Amino acid sequence: MKFSIFSVCDHYLDVPRSIGQLYSQILSEMELAEELGYWAYFIAEHHFHEYGAVPSPPTFLGAASQRTSRLGLGVAVSVLPFHNPLVLAEEYAVVDQLSQGRLRLGVGSGYLQHEFQAFGISPEERRQRFDEALAIMVRAWQGEPFSFEGTYYRVDNVRIAVTPYQKPHPPLWVAILHADRAYYVGRMGRNIMMVPYATCDTIDDLAEIIAAYRRGYAEAGGEGEPDIAVALHTYVSSSKEAAREEADAALWRYVVTRLYARRRSFDELDRGEVILFGDPELVAARLSKLADMGVTHVMALMNFGALEAERVRQSMITFAREVIPRVVATPSSL
């Protein structure tokens, strides 16, 4: 199992922290994540709302590439229907070159209604736009002239001048929000990325979703072991009670400002095991359960709800030093 860090980069107008300060905090956490040995640090793309304050992940990761040297630089996710796929292919190729092959790219079709409305795109078009955009990006990264004729995009004998450092292209994950999309992503032969908090009532629902994904992946003739990544809100402290006392307010701030989603309390999220709040032993036990379900990659969402920077950093440290070794030492999770 791989372990990464993830942040939506949520920003709140009623919190005395500027966007610049948030950016500095995330970059500092990336440096710490590299020091602690995390595989990658993922950030989200969002527009027109404080829910996410990074509308251009390539710009942000370009800066991060110069502050780190080993850490994977991740996006969870790039919303393909909102972009010209040729420009996006170029921008992420630049990030991969600047970082010498450390780009980790999650892609998705989007789900926030206000973003589609602002861009003047019908949500009903998002899946076909996504499929066409991804096909164009993968072709463009080959560095050869190509043409493409789709419903929404057309390419006529174009070659991009900057291609990724990684060949044939950076690792890709396709994100899903609804469980019925898992089989489809498997049929694409792509890695998958999920947020159980948004997709599942309880963590036990995840097993069926993973089974559907693996069935599709096998039918597509997928080679090797796919990466099944899940992101969960995470906070590690001396006990579950301490974790709740120290981070519940931030979790609730995140929950109540998350757009178009059912609001669930700490108790409900904890009963469903879709958050990783507790002492190292409890968090490690939940991770081992995920490993037994077939999860291969956990993205610990630690910077959320304007949680104090020092608490985020301490949780990252405790997770790396006291949780991960417990999981690695569990035979069923190897």
Whole-number Cα distances in Å, 128 to 122, 133, 144, 174? 11, 8, 24, 14
Cut 0.95: pTM above it: yes
Give every CB contact of residue 18 below 8 A, 6+ residues apart in sequence: none
**Average pLDDT score over the chain:** 96
Question: What CA–CA distance (Å, rounded) separates 14 from 12?
Answer: 6
Of the candidates 83, 168, 87, the one whose C-alpha atom is nearest the C-alpha of residue 130 is: 83
* For range 321-333, the mean pLDDT: 78
Question: What CA–CA distance (Å, rounded) separates 45 from 60?
Answer: 10
* For range 49-64, the mean pLDDT: 96
Is the per-residue pLDDT at 257 higher than 90?
A: no
Task: Calculate what percentage of the chain has a pLDDT beyond 90.
Answer: 93
What pLDDT does residue 328 have?
84
Task: Calculate what percentage of the chain has a pLDDT beyond 70.
Answer: 98
Going by pLDDT thresholds of 50, 70 and 90, the confidence category of residue 330 is low
Residue spans per domain, the chain:
1-171
Identify the CATH homologous superfamily for domain 1-171. Answer: Luciferase-like domain (3.20.20.30)
Q: In the block, which residue shows the tokens 């991770």? A: 287
The larger pLDDT score, comparing residue 4 to residue 332, is at 4
**SS3 sequence, the chain?**
CEEEEEECCCCCCCCCCCHHHHHHHHHHHHHHHHHHCCCEEEECCCCCCCCCCCCCHHHHHHHHHCCCCCCEEEEEEEEHHHCCHHHHHHHHHHHHHHCCCCEEEEEECCCCHHHHHHHCCCHHHHHHHHHHHHHHHHHHCCCCCEEEECCCCEEEEECCCCCCCCCCCCCEEEECCCHHHHHHHHHHCCEEEECHHHHCCCCCHHHHHHHHHHHHHHHCCCCCCCCEEEEEEEEECCCHHHHHHHHHHHHHHHHHHCCCCCCCCHHHHHHCCCCEEECHHHHHHHHHHHHHHCCCEEEEECCCCCCCHHHHHHHHHHHHHHHHHHHHCCHHHC
Going by pLDDT thresholds of 50, 70 and 90, the confidence category of residue 261 is low
Of the candidates 312, 321, 310, the one whose C-alpha atom is nearest the C-alpha of residue 283 is: 321
